[in-house]
Amino acid sequence: MTAIPFNRSSLEGRELEYIFQTITIGQIAGDQTFSKKCHRMLEETLGVKKALVTTSCTHALEMSAMLLGIQPGDEVIVPSFTFVSTPNAFVLHGAKPVFCDVRPDTLNLDETKLEALITPQTKAIVPVHYAGVGCEMDAITEIAKRHGLAIIEDNAHGLFGKYRGRWLGTIGGLATQSFHETKNITCGEGGALLINDERYMERAEIIREKGTNRARFFRGQIDKYSWCDVGSSYVMSDVLAAFLFAQLDVWPFIQVKRQTLWMRYHHELRDWCQTNGVRQPIIPSHCEQAYHMYYLLLPSLDARTRLIAHLKSLGILAVFHYLPLHLSEYAQQWGGKAGDCPVTEDVSDRLLRLPFFNSMTPEIQGRIIEAIRGFKADV
């Protein structure tokens, strides 16, 4: 019986052929043919003003912090249930992260708790579309407008998901994507910055190119390039962009595969969930999700621990997810304490992610479902 990993990378099309091309045509640095193809694809498919591939989503978030001019003393509101990069990119520039609890249904930033966290120091809100299900962007946008705050969508999970008919990543002034190996579409390590507010367009290119106007130089708009701003090295190699483009090129097929897997888990685990007091994901009817993950909310930490062990004994790797960021050791400097974000604290203990990857066969998924059905949560 072969072990079933939580995630496994796969070739989705012409990845190797395109990588070979970058080497034979001598374009392995960044911003060449394949990076441009990725930019155009994202811009045309999503309808964003500008897309720039980057070395990671973390780096696209750091670029956002620089574009907003984040400085020591500023505050940035993030969900307490997210990856560490969501706050860290802003903390790196001196901001204080303010943690907002999440909604019990979608596990997204709870927009009803947002306004109470805004102070004169608040500069931005960073909603995360958890599991690729849209946050309540109408309410968040309205609050941000009223207080003059920027919105950066951390859309690492949500590429090709929609909120009220609008693509995730096209609603905030800026949005960030991840192409890390655990995401729907990947090149191993990589990301993108999506720019919807055109005020950021020119400076984003400069920050991404080490603080120089090299991008304009390469387009022939100026005859030499120079140092004009702060910046760093956020350009993706075209070797990776070639891999990425091969996947972006077939995105509808990837999404259909993931939708099929997600639906099967959802239907075939329904009865078991009901008898065992396990909650399945909730997708609001106005959200088209991106099928990033399938999770279960067990009735208790103990039940989750036992289910993980049960699956492990059958060679299946299921994993928990984020620990509450406000309770982390590093966040103690801002006074985070138990009870600040009760929903996050509760779900973090009970959430379990099932193996979920593009190349999962029906047989493998059947084995996982059978294994779960063979477990009793003892409610």
Q: Does 85 bind ligand PLP (CB under 6 A)?
A: yes
Could you give the CA distance from residue 193 to residue 89 in angstroms, rounded to a whole number? 13
- Of the listed pieces 56-64, 101-109, 118-126, 131-139, which binds ligand PLP according to CB under 6 A? 56-64
Contacts (Cβ under 8 Å, ≥6 apart) of 149: 118, 122, 123, 124, 125, 143
Q: Does 82 bind ligand PLP (CB under 6 A)?
A: yes
Q: Does 106 bind ligand PLP (CB under 6 A)?
A: no
For residues 196 to 235, the per-residue mask of contacts with ligand PLP, x marking binding by CB under 6 A and - elsewhere, is: ----------------------------------------
Q: Does 307 bind ligand PLP (CB under 6 A)?
A: no
Q: Which of 56, 64, 255, 344 binds ligand PLP (CB under 6 A)?
A: 56
Q: Does 78 bind ligand PLP (CB under 6 A)?
A: no
DSSP state letter for 72: T
Sheet holding 191-195, edge to edge: 50-54, 191-195, 174-178, 150-154, 122-125, 75-79, 96-100
Query: Least distance (Å) from ligand PLP to the CB of residue 240?
Result: 12
In 196-332 the beta strands, taken as DSSP E runs, fall at: 287-288, 295-297
Q: Which of 38, 68, 128, 171 binds ligand PLP (CB under 6 A)?
A: 128
Contacts (Cβ under 8 Å, ≥6 apart) of 197: 49, 173, 174
Kindly state the greatest CA–CA separation across the chain: 72
Q: Which of 96, 166, 180, 321 binds ligand PLP (CB under 6 A)?
A: 180
Measured from the CB atom, the residue of 51 and 364 that comes closer to ligand PLP is: 51
Q: Which of 127, 173, 191, 281 binds ligand PLP (CB under 6 A)?
A: 191
How remote is the C-alpha of 269 from its chain's centroid? 26
Q: In b/e form, how buried is each residue of 202-224, taking b as 16+ CB within 10 angstroms?
A: ebbbbbbbebbbbbbeeeeeeee
Measured from the CB atom, the residue of 15 and 371 that comes closer to ligand PLP is: 15
Q: Does 154 bind ligand PLP (CB under 6 A)?
A: yes
> Can you give the binding site for ligand PLP, defined by CB under 6 A?
56-58, 82-83, 85-86, 128, 154, 156-157, 178, 180, 191
